Amino acid sequence: MKNQIYQLQIALKGFKPKIWRRVLVPSNMLLSDLHKVIQTTMGWTNSHLHQFIKDRTFYAEKSEDDDFWDEMDNVDYKKIKVSDLLKAEKDKMVYEYDFGDGWEHDVILEKILPMDKNTTLPICLTGKNSCPPEDCGGVWGYAEMLEVLKNPKHEEYESIVEWLGEEFDPTYFDKNEVNEMLQSKNYGVFEY
CA 82 to each of CA 2, 121, 131: distance values in angstroms, whole numbers, following the listed order? 13, 14, 23
pTM: 0.90
Report whether pLDDT(79) > 60. yes
- Assess contact for 73 and 57: CB atoms under 8 A: yes
Per the CATH hierarchy, to which homologous superfamily does domain 4-130+171-184 belong? MM3350-like (3.10.290.30)
Q: How many residues does the chain have?
A: 192
Give which of 156, 90, 82 is closest to 121, Cα–Cα: 82
pLDDT reported for residue 192: 39
User: pLDDT category, 72, cuts 50, 70, 90?
Assistant: low
Task: Give helix then strand counts, H and E, for the chain.
Answer: 5, 8
pLDDT reported for residue 67: 60
Q: What percent of the chain has pLDDT over 70?
A: 91
Containing 38, the helix (H) or strand (E) segment is helix 31-42
Residues 6+ away with beta carbon under 8 Å from 128: 17, 18, 19, 20, 173
Measured in degrees and rounded to the nearest 5, phi and psi for residue 7 equal -95, 115
User: pLDDT category, 10, cuts 50, 70, 90?
Assistant: very high
Tell me the pLDDT tens digit for each residue of 31-51.
999 999 999 999 999 999 999
Tell me the pLDDT tens digit for each residue of 123-137.
999 999 999 999 999
Give which of 126, 109, 140, 164 is closest to 13, Cα–Cα: 140
Give which of 31, 8, 156 is closest to 84, Cα–Cα: 31
Tell me the pLDDT tens digit for each residue of 134-156.
999 999 999 999 999 999 999 99
- Assess contact for 7 and 114: CB atoms under 8 A: no
Report whether pLDDT(99) > 70. yes
CA-derived radius of gyration, the chain? 18
User: pLDDT category, 188, cuts 50, 70, 90?
Assistant: low
More confident residue, 191 or 176: 176
pLDDT reported for residue 191: 46
